[in-house]
Amino acid sequence: MTTAGMKTTANSRDLIVEPLFTVDQLAGTVGRSHWTLRRDIKAGRIRCVRIGRALRIEASEVRRIMTEGLAV
């Protein structure tokens, strides 16, 4: 279930709320253009959630991108 930019995941009895980032927010965080990130999303290098026409990236995916060195 998504609510106002947050993703909720039920795991056992715990409820985890994870923020969702826009492509522009991710671009500012990792130092790449939003067009480059959109190409990476289309190529499957970055996982995202589609809400209607909007793309959102989970915080766990942002952490993966930064640890694996996709960031500039």
> Taking the complete model, does pTM exceed 0.85, yes or no?
no
- Residue in 22, 26, 19, 10 with CA at minimum distance from that of residue 59: 19
Q: What is the pLDDT of residue 54?
A: 95
13/30 Cα distance (integer angstroms): 34
16-42 pLDDT, tens digit per residue, is: 778 999 999 999 988 899 999 999 999
33-69 pLDDT, tens digit per residue, is: 999 999 999 999 999 999 999 999 999 999 998 888 7
* CATH domain 20-72 topology: Multidrug-efflux Transporter Regulator; Chain: A; Domain 2 (1.10.1660)
- CA dihedral (7, 54, 30, 36) in degrees, to 10, reads 150
